[in-house]
Amino acid sequence: MKAAAPGTNPELEAVTPPRRGTAERGRNAVAVVALSAVIAVGMIHAVPTFGQLRRLGDGGWALVARFLLAVALIIAVGRLGGWVAARCRQPRVVGEMAAGIALGPTLLGQFAPAVQHALFPADLVPELGLVAQLAIIYFVFLLGTDLPLDLLRGSGGRVAALGAGMVAVPLGCGLLLAAGLAADYRPAGVGSVPFLLFVGTAMSITAFPVLVRILAEHDLIRTRIGTLGLATAGAGDALSWFLLVMVVALAHGDSAAAVLPTAGWLVLFTAVTLIVVRPALRRFLAAAEHTAGGRRIAIAVLVLCALSGAAVTDWIGVHAIFGALLVGAVVPRENSVVRGLGRTVGRGVTLVLPLFFAVIGFSMDIGLLGDVRDLLLCGLMVLVAVVSKVGTTTLVGRLTKLTWRESLGLGVMVNCRGLTELVVVSTGLSLGIIGPDLFVMFVVMTLVTTAMTGPLLGWLRLGATPADALSAERSGTTHATTGEPGRTRGVEDPF
């Protein structure tokens, strides 16, 4: 018999493996229970959601055919708009936004109202809106899986200062602007505080996914300034989403005390997601990624998890998008299934995302700004949005020892609002925090600030120098969630 090594206890070693095995089985059991509960919630919410589409069948094949024709036309026009935008060196999302708006009363309804009503009748809009809402839930979920959390952890004081500045000053300017708008543009029954905070928060948004696409097109992701821009946008967006959660919670209560139950449920949901769901997903995905069948099951589980998170926060009274965002943020990014979501779920989202822009177009009419006062106010909103974002970030960047060109480049980057802003203002419209007139102004502001980002970055010529590229390679600078330079793993095409 082999003698025991000095300092060891053979009896203890004999007992340890079974204990470890018991602990492992316990963790596996917790993971199974947690994921089963999440999947059950997702299924419970999915069945009635998709059941709403059964109304199309009740109307006969004619109604189904009209629905499919409307979907096909919207997707085709959206893809055409995206192609035109790409030819003009703009992100595809700019063209898809413009195309969706053109299908509504703003353009098609102005010149051919009978055609517009025939192609997109009012009785089909709820079903189109349902598909669009699902697309946005999964878009936000993919956005959560693609947030630059790794960049934020190692970014230091400069990113903290830039992120705080790019949110605080536009927020303050938005509050002042909203105070002047409240008398004429605050909807009846909406409290002053939710209205003011929503307008301020909407002014502080940056579209991280669209920014990734623009930086990739300008070969800036692997540069020092590009990485800093992504980290700043991620930090600012995290703070803006937190503010928006509080605004939506306030919109459901008449006082701060009325918000406490909502905040308590939200904190509990966040804690459960981080402490229970995140490790359960990690264990499950680690086991599932090794076989083709396991990967297919894992994708289905992730889809249901996103829907489950959306259902829980919707029940809490915040908004469905926050649950999808949080679940996406806790998904383990190192897993091959998660890295491939852009080729599976992302492609489906890309295909139907033009429906979201079209539904926005159906609900807005640029004619609402027919008054000269409204047009001037819309111009003022664009001016405040640009100056507060670009100006503040430029000054903070200069104070943190960046050059003027780099600082201005950062300001141009974070001024990009894109699809994220549309999701936010659509949330405000659906909750009644803002009215249709202010909603139109925000959409115009979003189009202008997104469209100006690419040309201004090209004018600044911030492209990688050899020193920047070498520094990025030595430091291992990569995209936060793909691990590959200059690529984004999220929803690939529309950005």
pLDDT in tens, 93-108: 788 888 988 898 878 8
8 lies in a domain?
Answer: no
Which among 324, 338, 351, 340 is positioned nearest to 141, based on CA atoms? 324
pLDDT in tens, 396-453: 988 888 889 889 999 999 998 887 888 888 888 888 899 888 998 999 999 899 889 8
Q: Letter for the amino acid at 261?
A: P
Query: Is the pLDDT reported for residue 158 higher than 50?
Result: yes
CA–CA gap between residue 276 and residue 34 (Å, rounded): 7
Neighbours of 165 (CB within 10 A): 24
Q: Are 316 and 265 in contact (CB under 8 A)?
A: yes
Question: Which residue is it, tokens 């905070």?
Answer: 197
pLDDT of the residue at 45: 65
Q: Letter for the amino acid at 427?
A: T
CA–CA gap between residue 117 and residue 98 (Å, rounded): 19
pLDDT in tens, 19-74: 556 666 666 666 667 777 777 776 776 666 666 666 666 666 777 888 889 999 99
Question: Which residue is it, tokens 């802003």?
Answer: 421
91 lies in a domain?
Answer: no
100 lies in a domain?
Answer: no
pLDDT of the residue at 28: 63
Q: What is the domain count for the chain?
A: 1
Question: Which residue is it, tokens 């990739």?
Answer: 216
Neighbours of 226 (CB within 10 A): 29
- Between 19 and 337, the more confident residue is 337
Q: Are 476 and 483 in contact (CB under 8 A)?
A: no
* 495 token code pair: 């950005």
- The length of the chain in residues reads 495
148 lies in a domain?
Answer: yes
pLDDT of the residue at 134: 86
CA–CA gap between residue 11 and residue 8 (Å, rounded): 9
Q: Are 281 and 267 in contact (CB under 8 A)?
A: no
Give CA 219 to chain center in angstroms.
23
Sign of the CA dihedral 289, 332, 156, 403? positive
Q: For position 208, which CATH number holds?
A: 1.20.1530.20
pLDDT of the residue at 408: 92
40 lies in a domain?
Answer: no
70 lies in a domain?
Answer: no
Give the chain's mean pLDDT: 78
pLDDT in tens, 381-395: 999 999 999 999 999
Which among 313, 330, 189, 306 is positioned nearest to 263, based on CA atoms? 313
441 lies in a domain?
Answer: yes
Which of 66-75, 145-154, 286-295, 397-406 has the lowest average pLDDT? 145-154
* 295 token code pair: 């990967």
386 lies in a domain?
Answer: yes
The boundaries of the domain holding residue 438 are 115-475
